[in-house]
Homo-oligomer: A and B are copies of this chain.
Amino acid sequence: MADITVTIGKHTFQNPVFAASGTFGYGLENPDLVDISAFGAIVTKSITRQPREGNPPPRIVETPSGMINSIGLSNIGVDKYVSDMAPKYADIGCPVIMNIAGSSEDEYCEIVEITESVNSNIIGYEVNISCPNVKHGGIEFGVNAELTESLTSKIRKRTGKLVIMKLSPNVTDIRSIAKAAEAGGADALSAINTVYGMSINPHTKKSEIYTTYGGLSGPAIKPVGLACVHKVSLAVDVPVIGIGGITSGKDAVEYILAGASAIQVGTANYRDPATGISILDDLKRYLAEQNIATVAEMIGMVETYES
């Protein structure tokens, strides 16, 4: 059988299929529906310094092959996360990556410091600098290379765990942000977070999302995520984690060929939180059919016409 392990920073994951932030809760909500130990890793909902209610409804609307959300980082806050959730990860059989968001460098740093101060099974941080539906939820970092580098290096100083910066596609030049994160000391980059989108109800003439603009996700954005991952993976040396519209093994293969060392399943979890497991089965079948011995050698293997 093919070797499906992948290495990011100093961690080797049993497989490259992760669950994406905000689409898998804290990993503890549906033990009966999904065997979490089958995943390469799970990434938690963004955790902030203080608990947050999130945005008023409507927070969700469906669009063609996609959906817009504006949850507004609703979460229990780092204190409660560290005291109530983190201990439960002791025996879930799957590495947990904590996604964090903040409105200032201090806030991000405090979250890391608090988490580092306790013993936990959290193996690293995915830093959300790309949330499109909260005014001060990190996006001001994600669109600015200098701020990205500075924030990355401050977090880097505070932890020996994995530091993964999560990039926004809503920028003119994602490569420059990616390079800044790498320069700041990131172990890896995740791409992409959601794309700015809007939807209107023609009957009520109202915006279908409270914050007017929200984040577009799902199959509709798969081509956008693939382009970003390919660009970023050529621009940096650290591993890239591919996200955006992944629903099948075929999609996962496209992302890995484009340059992703691992992938995250987002919106598809809402139809079935076990989607990641069927993706993994598809991926294994693909490797067998194609006689590919390791996932590692597939990474970035896409053949382009021009270079």
Interface residues of A (CB under 8 A from B): 56, 63-66, 68, 143, 170-172, 195-200, 202, 204-207, 210-213, 216, 218-224, 226-228, 230-231, 245, 250, 253-254, 257-258, 286, 301-306
**How far does the Cβ of A159 sit from chain B's closest Cβ, in whole Å?**
29
Tell me how many chains of this kind the complex includes.
Answer: 2
Contacts of A223 in B (CB 8 A): 63, 66, 68, 195, 197-199, 216, 220
Q: Are A65 and B65 in contact (CB under 8 A)?
A: yes
Our pick among B170, B213, B230 for the contact of A212 (Cβ within 8 Å) is B230
Q: Are B64 and A212 in contact (CB under 8 A)?
A: no
- Please report the C-alpha to C-alpha distance between residue A228 and residue B195 in the assembled complex, in whole angstroms: 11
Identify whether the interface residues of A are mostly helix, strand, loop, or mixed: mixed
Q: Are B205 and A305 in contact (CB under 8 A)?
A: no
Contacts of A204 in B (CB 8 A): 303
Check A197/B220 contact, CB under 8 A, given A205-B257, A205-B301, A304-B212.
no
CB nearest neighbor in B for A248: B202
Check A197/B216 contact, CB under 8 A, given A207-B304, A257-B202.
no
CB nearest neighbor in B for A212: B304
Contacts of A253 in B (CB 8 A): 200, 202
Q: Are B227 and A213 in contact (CB under 8 A)?
A: yes
